[in-house]
Amino acid sequence: MAKILDALPNELVESLQGEKIVTFITLDKETKEPQISAVSWVLAQPDGKTIKIAVGHNAHCASNVQANPQVTLGVIGAGSYFEIKGNAEVSDIHNGTMKFRVITVSVQSVEDVMFYGGKVTAEPQYEKTYDAELAKKLDQEIYDVLKQ
C-alpha cells in the first residue's frame, strides 16, 4: 500500500507549475454526485501545502466548492498518477481579459494511486485552439494572480 503524505513531494510541486491538465473533482451542489472538471491553470506553492487553480468566473466547480469545500485532484506527474485531497475556497471575481476566480486548495493528503507495476512514461499534452496572442496575455494575467 502506498504511503499517504500530508504535502506534495518536491517533484510533484515542480510538475504543478502551470500548463498541466489536472482532473478537478467536486461534489455537485444540487445532486451531491461527483463532478469532474479538466483544469490547466494550476500552480502548486513551494511548500507543497497549497495548490491554486484558476477557473472561469461562472465555473460550475467554483459554485460546487462554495457549497462543499472537499475536493480531489487527479494529477499525472513525477512518473505516476496521484490523488490529492483537500479543502478549497473560492476567491472573489478577478476582472481582466476575462473574468475568473481562484480556487485555493489546502492539501490534506497525497497518495500515489498508480496501478501496481505501472509507470507513466509520457504525460498528456494539449494545445490551445484560440488566438495565440490572447492566450499568452490571458496566461500572464492569470499566473500573476496565482503567484500572489
Has residue 90 got a pLDDT over 90? yes
Q: Place 1 in a pLDDT band, splitting at 50, 70 and 90.
A: low
CATH of the domain at 16: 2.30.110.10
Rg (C-alpha) for the chain, rounded Å, is: 15
Has residue 2 got a pLDDT over 80? no
Question: DSSP character for 96?
Answer: S
pLDDT tens for 107-139 read 999 999 999 999 999 999 999 999 999 999 999
pLDDT tens for 12-64 read 999 999 899 999 999 999 999 999 999 999 999 999 999 999 999 999 999 99
- Structural domain including 101 reads 4-146
Name the residue type at position 101.
R
Average pLDDT over residues 74-103: 96
In this predicted structure, what is the pLDDT of residue 3? Answer: 87
Unique residue bearing C-alpha cell 485555493: 104
Please name the residues in contact with 137: beta carbons below 8 A apart, sequence gap of 6 or more. Answer: 97
pTM: 0.95
Domain count, the chain: 1
In this predicted structure, what is the pLDDT of residue 95? Answer: 94
Q: Judge whether 47 and 82 are in contact, CB under 8 Å.
A: no
Rounded to whole angstroms, how far apart are CA atoms 3 and 142? 34
